[in-house]
Chains A and B, each alone.
Chain A
């Protein structure tokens, strides 16, 4: 079956622009996670949804970052007024159940480059 998909795969933005990154999780998966991965580093947790509820957004680095999952399936990560330090790969993962002993299935990521 289809895995987690993300679009676009690559995004170049000028500093100050707004961007929107999309994640299509595996159908029926309850949990959805967003991570930020800087070059040469491990993924850093940003936010977590259980269905449409955003249960944890403690990893969002600033109020310029906003995520939503209005119908409990597709999610969008929006970054306003992008800065160069926002350049990273943004990974989305989904899991069939809530937090716990559940594997997360990752998408390929969106590589964001802010000029």
Chain B
């Protein structure tokens, strides 16, 4: 099967700092990528997406970067807040939808 993996399983940042969460994917045919946030006891919540014909997309306090050459995706969160503490998953979509293992982000007040 395809694999979508994350480089770091946990990340701790100080409140107000920027966070960067990385993700590697293996299916070069995937053409759509999504970042999800999952809080304890809840389903994944959409954060931001990007199509393969783009290399950067910005939302409110979040930016996703896509490097197709090395099959790498990153999520940048600006001015991280305690409410950003959660597990973050990248997911890729081709013929199916694959999620990575997840990175647990902890924001230290």
Contact = CB atoms under 8 A, between A and B. Distances in A.
Interface of A: 4, 33, 35, 40-45, 48, 56, 58-59, 91, 93, 99-101, 103-109
Interface of B: 4, 32, 34, 36, 41-46, 49, 51, 89, 91, 93, 95-102
Nearest to B96: A45
The 8 closest A-B pairs by CB, nearest first: A106-B43, A42-B99, A43-B99, A103-B46, A106-B44, A42-B89, A42-B101, A101-B32
B26 to A, nearest CB: 14
Contact of A42 (B43, B49, B102): B102
A62 to B, nearest CB: 16
A101 B102 contact: no
Nearest to B99: A42
A59 B93 CA distance: 15
Contacts of A56: 95-96
* Prevailing SS type, chain A contact patch: loop
Interface centre among A33, A44, A103 (most CB of B within 10 A): A103
A16 B32 CA distance: 40
A100 B32 contact: yes
Contact of A107 (B43, B49, B98, B102): B43
Contacts of A100: 32, 93
A88 B60 CA distance: 33
B43 A4 contact: yes
Nearest to A111: B41
Nearest to B104: A40
B101 A108 contact: no
A101 B4 CA distance: 18
Given A42-B4, A44-B99, 12 more contacts: A4-B43, A40-B102, A41-B102, A42-B102, A43-B44, A45-B97, A45-B98, A56-B96, A59-B96, A103-B46, A106-B36, A109-B43
Contacts of A33: 97
A108 B43 contact: yes
21 contacts: A35-B99, A40-B101, A42-B89, A42-B100, A42-B101, A42-B102, A44-B99, A45-B98, A56-B96, A93-B44, A99-B95, A101-B32, A103-B46, A103-B49, A104-B34, A105-B46, A106-B43, A106-B44, A108-B42, A109-B42, A109-B43
